[in-house]
Amino acid sequence: MQTDRNAVVVPLQPRADDKEREPERFVDSAVAAKFLSVERKYLLRLARKGKIPAYPLGDGQRCLWRFRLSELARAMEERLAHGENVGTASTNKAQSIR
């Protein structure tokens, strides 16, 4: 059986019951920082201060941090919805206009 090289392959969508059985995977700080478009060091500082949802692995100052991308996205959306975007370009621009 030959396949057409130009054919589009559509991935199968997971069934709803498959999503319930498999929990969302955790990602490391490099992936989470890239997802939020911030520096890794800044992301880790926010995690240590409890400003973003994060899960420490280990004890002490040098623990590993893990993140769930859905929780990071939800936290950002909630911040924007509640007007907690202090220090962003939009608020700085508004202040400079006044």
Place of tokens 């899960």: 55
Mean pLDDT computed over 55-73: 91
pLDDT, mean of residues 4-14: 58
Q: What angle do CA 77, 80, 85 make, to 5 degrees?
A: 135
* Amino acid identity, position 75: A
Regarding predicted confidence, which is higher, 80 or 64?
A: 64
> Mean of the pLDDT values across residues 46-53?
93
pLDDT surpasses 70 at 51? yes
Backbone angles phi, psi at 45, to 5 degrees: -65, -40
From residue 92, how far is each of 27, 82, 89 by CA, in Å?
32, 17, 5
- Predicted pLDDT of residue 59: 82
Does 80 score more than 90 pLDDT? no
The pLDDT score that the predictor gives to residue 94 is 46
